[in-house]
Structure 1
Amino acid sequence: MMHGEGAHTSNQEGRYGEDGERLTDAFVIGIAGGSASGKTHVAQQIDSFYKWHTPEEVALAFENNYDLDHPDSIDMPMFAACLADLKACKQTNIPVYSFKDHQRLKETKYLYGAAIIIAEGIMTLHDPSLRALYDLKVFVQCDSDLMLARRIRRDVKERGRSVDGILEQYLRFVKPSYDHFVLPTSRYADVIVPGSDNSVAIELISTHIRRQLNDRSMRFRERMANTTTDSFLFHVPNSETPSEKMLRLNLRLLDQTPQLKGIYTILRDKTTTREDFIFFVDRLATLLVERALESLPFRPKTVVTPVGVESNGKEVDAKFICGISILRSGGPLEQGLKRVINDVPIGSLLIQSDAESGEPLLLHGMLPACIRLRHQAEEAYVFVLDAQIGTGAAAFMAIRVLLDHGVRQDRIIFVTFLVAAGGGVSVLRNAFARVKIVCGAADGALHESWCEDSHLGEGKGETDGRKVWVIEPGMGQIGDRYYL
């Protein structure tokens, strides 16, 4: 089985260039060694890729007469396919194996977004197609007597086996397979780690991994903000208004009616009460989603009216529709989406800036089922909700997450209250030209500022800061004003 270091909560900083293409893959580590050699001290969980067993094979397994340590018992093609997806920053659904029931379960485990992937198992280094995917290959070497003692203790306690059954299986299958198939793969390892007292070796490996990840960091947010703002303003005439810039970038901007301008005046006013702010945010969110709904496909439909007359109309022609809210600024748009599309599933992405570097980090994701399964994601239409687009770093990452899952670019509809015309939206349009962006207003300036964070350190007060970019005149922190 594969274990993603931070598989559900990970940092994807620096993986993509301004053109939206992936610059680096995830860092993949393959760890092999004998059964109970101590591999789980380096990485946890193993052997999910055992093949589906017939009732006869399960019966033999309960009698300790089925060889689970032979390479043929592992579904190597599926193992390699899932690992290749994760390395390429795509999602995968890995099988779950029950040692207690000697069977692969029907359920699967969803994995995505790991910066570091650990593939661990007795046959991890056996297959050439797997070895080609590893950035670092590790073999855990341990004394046979110690491995047997650990196996007896583990299988009795965790898997309900008898000592006699364990010894019979070990002598008949485990030891011969280790000698013939597992131990010979140690020659492919970059590092051989002892099965006990291996803290020094693990620290060396960890240092190597940290160095590799640091080398891959691209300081994405600052580079994106500086590059986009400078290049965008350079090519745009000074006489062009923010709304004209939005039209030129092919953004769907709400008609700037007096009513809409009145709503934005209320929302921009810092003296507006929280009750009024919530009311007008919900009203504006509904208008934006209704406009965004025009991006969905429709097909003809004939209905019979209450007076018995046929009427030709339209209905939405989409198999899967869902929303993704970028926490927590996307929350104020959720009510509008729910009002317009009944029972729409809404997932979330937590994307925040690193306290030290200011880089965007993907910290958590709760995605609807239609996105977690790639064959459904390819047919899904997704509304991405975020309060505003400044540098565009969070929006950029959210779109890349969806593309990694198989969502088609032309089926992503980004809905936002406010866009900085001189900010990262130009990079978004260049990188993801087929993504539709629906916004209510455009402000002209993206101002670089410095945010000071106070904290206590070493028994005294200290102040650190980080670079931020603020939309002007803007609407402030919309999520905070909505929820606090």
Structure 2
Amino acid sequence: MSGSTDITNVSIIASGRKETVAGEIPQKAHYSPPWADMSIIGIAGSSGSGKTSLAVEIVQSLNLPWVIILSIDSFYKSLTPEQNALAHRNEYDLDSPDSIDFDLLVEILMDLKKGKRTDIPIYSFQQHQRLDKTVSIYSPHVVILEGILALHDPRVLDLLDMKIFVEADPDVCLSRRIVRDVRERGRTIEGVIKQWFRYVKPVFQTYVDPQREIADLIVPRGMQNKMAIQMIVNQTRQILKGKSIRHNAELEKLGQQIEDYTLSENVMVLGETPQVVGVSTILRNPITNQVDFAFYFDRLTALLIEKALDCHNYVATDITTATDCKYSGLKSAGKVSAVVILRGGSCMETGLKRTIPDCLTGRLLIQSNIRTGEPELHYLKLFPDLAEHETVLLLDPQMSSGGAALMAVKVLVDHGVAEERIVFVTCMAGRRGLKRLMTVFPKIKVVVARIVEDNEKRWMEERYFGC
């Protein structure tokens, strides 16, 4: 729900009965994940100067899973048959700015800055054509853009947080280019040398070398310059630390803003039937052994999944029974799939498969940083057609602050899943976390077995797995 109208006597389903609460329906809040407004480092320099090696060294020194290298080589324009023939004879200038699709590069960088999923083209130097395949990129915190003209286009410069120019001796650059092009791109030594003096060297003098003047840092000797690499790494870590602090502050501010808001009617709590109360008692009893805990947890999960299927859409249909009778009923309006938030969500899969045996299941690994407490996306595996599924169940056994749940829903939305098709299924959730989640994503549904204290620590997956 959205809007700013004050209401009273709002009825919600809680513990199987009507509960009357007073409050205000919040306006939809905004949530920016840590990868929104990511940092971009541009590395330019002559062909063969060691740009890629320097970028790899920076990535290894940062030692973070969400730092990627984006090569401008991927953005070469596809050639016409005439141009392709010239390129195979080493008579076409592939180093000119006109050979690079800067419009597409800027579009992709801007999408990444906004936190969107993007598809990076793949260019074949053997065929001198852009391939039909692409590589999907999502949620990098740092992108290292490397290429001879990484600092050439003013639109790209406006997006860069750090500009680096790599210096190297021209003879060294030529020798490196010969080795690379012969080994990786199927060219001959004579062809590489011909192209170097006809195209590469003039382009360097006209377009590449002037980029030195606008660079924040000039790095001689490339990856061998350990001091320069450490400076770049330290600066990048400071940028990431500042973003982490701001992200946590925004989460905390969001939690304070919604303190007095009414819990959304899209939050559905399992009724306190004798079965649910009995199972909950066994699960919360510290003397319950691991085998019994897993058995009853699977039962509770199955009940939650059954409740979540009430949120699925069905359409009217007529069938003919085995006894040749007409029957008017309902059938599923589309696919039901699930996305598991690891590692806790994996303990809900048994109950999921008991209820929907053929359910397609994706994976998200979100963990809190042990130093900052900030949720971090480490792994992502979703189905390509997820946006077309009628209902997507998001599984996590516990939610307290709602940080991981916010990030998980944001990931699904960024991959094209409509809010109203997402059903978050959890065994226990804190009231503050629920309000925070529903304020940012008011159209999703939540199915929960029990609403608990906001500060209750995660414990269910540890008891389920026994470790």
TM-score (norm 2): 0.82
Q: Corresponding residue for 1:218?
A: 245
C-alpha distance in 2 between matches for 1:80 and 1:160: 30
Structure 1 counterpart of 2:404, one-letter code: A
Q: Do the aligned partners of 2:338 and 2:362 also contact (CA within 8 Å) in 1?
A: yes
Q: Does 1:126 align with 2:152?
A: yes
1:198 corresponds in structure 2 to 225
| Superposition map of 1:74-473 within 5 A | 74-196=100-222, 197-218=224-245, 224=251, 228=255, 232=259, 235=260, 250-318=266-334, 321-371=336-386, 377=387, 381-421=391-431, 423-443=432-452, 445-447=453-455, 469-470=456-457
Following superposition, the deviation at residue 259 of structure 1 comes to 1.5
Alpha carbons of 1:82 and 1:321: their partners in 2 closer, same or farther (altered >3 Å)?
farther
Tell me, what secondary structure is at the counterpart of 1:218?
helix
CA contact (8 A) 1:222 1:359 kept: no
SS in 2 for 1:262: helix
Task: Quote the Cα distance in structure 1 between the aligned partners of 2:233 and 2:393.
Answer: 39
Query: How far apart, CA to CA, are the structure 2 residues paired with 1:221 and 1:249?
Result: 27
Q: Which runs of 5+ in 2 are unaligned?
A: 1-27, 57-68
How far, CA to CA, are the matches of 1:441 and 1:477 in structure 2?
15
Letter in 1 for 2:303: L
Query: Which shows bigger deviation, 55-64 or 154-163?
Result: 55-64
Identify which of 451, 462, 466 aligns with 1:480: 462
Say whether the 8 Å CA contact 2:151–2:163 is kept in structure 1: yes
Q: Work out the percentage of aligned pairs sharing the same amino acid.
A: 41
1:68 to 63, 87, 94: 94
Distance 2:239 2:251 in 1: 22
Alignment-mate amino acid for residue 26 of structure 1: M
- TM-score between both structures, scaled by the size of structure 1: 0.79
Task: Return closer, same or farther for 1:210/1:378 CA change in 2, 3 Å cut-off.
Answer: farther
Deviates more, 1:249-258 or 1:32-41: 249-258
Kept in 2: contact 1:221–1:393 (CA 8 A): no
CA distance in 2, matches of 1:427, 1:384: 17
**Amino acid of the residue matched to residue 32 of structure 1?**
A
Distance 1:288 1:105 in 2: 45
What do the CA deviations read for 1:92-133 (whole angstroms, capped 9, x no partner)? Answer: 121122334433222221211111111111222222322222
Partners in 2 of 1:92 and 1:394 — Cα distance?
22
1:145 to partner: Cα distance: 2.0
What is the SS of the residue equivalent to 2:163? strand
C-alpha distance in 2 between matches for 1:60 and 1:343: 53
SS in 2 for 1:365: strand
How far apart are 1:163 and its partner, in Å?
Answer: 1.0
Change (3 A) 1:186 1:407: farther
Asked if 1 retains the 8 angstrom alpha-carbon contact of 2:365 and 2:379, the reply is yes
In 1, the alpha carbon distance for the partners of 2:415 and 2:398 equals 24
Shift, 1:252, TM fit: 0.8
Q: Does 1:32 align with 2:44?
A: yes
Q: Is the 8 A contact 2:341 2:366 kept in 1?
A: yes
For 1:171 and 1:218, locate their aligned partners in 2 and report how far apart those are by CA, in whole Å: 50
Q: Note the C-alpha offset of 1:18.
A: 7.3
2:428 counterpart letter in structure 1: L
User: Is the CA contact (8 Å cut-off) linking 2:78 and 2:128 kept in structure 1?
Assistant: no
**3-state SS of 2:442 partner:** coil
TM-superposed CA distance for 1:63, in Å, is: 2.3
CA RMSD after TM alignment: 2.8
Q: Following TM superposition, by how much is the alpha carbon of 1:379 offset from its aligned partner in structure 2, in angstroms?
A: 6.3
**What's the CA shift string for 1:187-229, capped at 9, x where partnerless?**
3333332244432222222222222222222275687469738
> Aligned letter for 2:361?
I
> Is the Cα contact below 8 Å between 2:258 and 2:435 reproduced in 1?
no
Query: Is the Cα–Cα contact under 8 Å of residues 229 and 424 in structure 1 kept in the other structure?
Result: no
Moved more, 80-89 or 37-46: 37-46
Aligned AA (1:214): K
Secondary structure of the structure 2 residue equivalent to 1:60? helix
Contact 1:225 1:424 in 2 (8 A): no
User: Is there any run of 5+ residues in structure 1 with no aligned partner, and where?
Assistant: 1-16, 237-244, 372-376, 448-468, 471-475
**Matched residues in 1 for 2:124 and 2:76: separation?**
10
Q: Of 14, 20, 32, which residue of structure 1 is paired with 2:31?
A: 20
1:39 maps to a residue whose letter is K
Inter-partner Cα distance in structure 2 for 1:280 and 1:428: 28
Question: Which whole-Å CA distance do the structure 2 matches of 1:225 and 1:269 have between them?
Answer: 32
Give the secondary-structure state (helix, strand or coil) at the position aligned to 1:43.
Answer: helix
Note if contact 1:141-1:194 (Cα within 8 Å) is conserved in structure 2. Answer: yes
TM-fit CA distance, 1:184? 2.9
Distance across 2 between alignment mates of 1:105 and 1:224: 42
- Residues 341-350 or 254-263, more deviating: 341-350
Cα offset, 1:434, TM superposition: 1.4
State the one-letter code of the partner of 1:144: P
Rounded to whole Å, the distance in 1 between the matches of 2:372 and 2:405 is 18
Does structure 2 conserve the Cα–Cα contact (< 8 Å) formed by 1:351 and 1:364?
yes
Q: For residues 255 and 434 of structure 1, what CA distance do their matches in structure 2 show?
A: 22
Work out whether 1:48 is the aligned partner of 2:30: no
- Counterpart CA distance in 2 for 1:417 and 1:103 is 52
Note the C-alpha offset of 1:79.
1.5
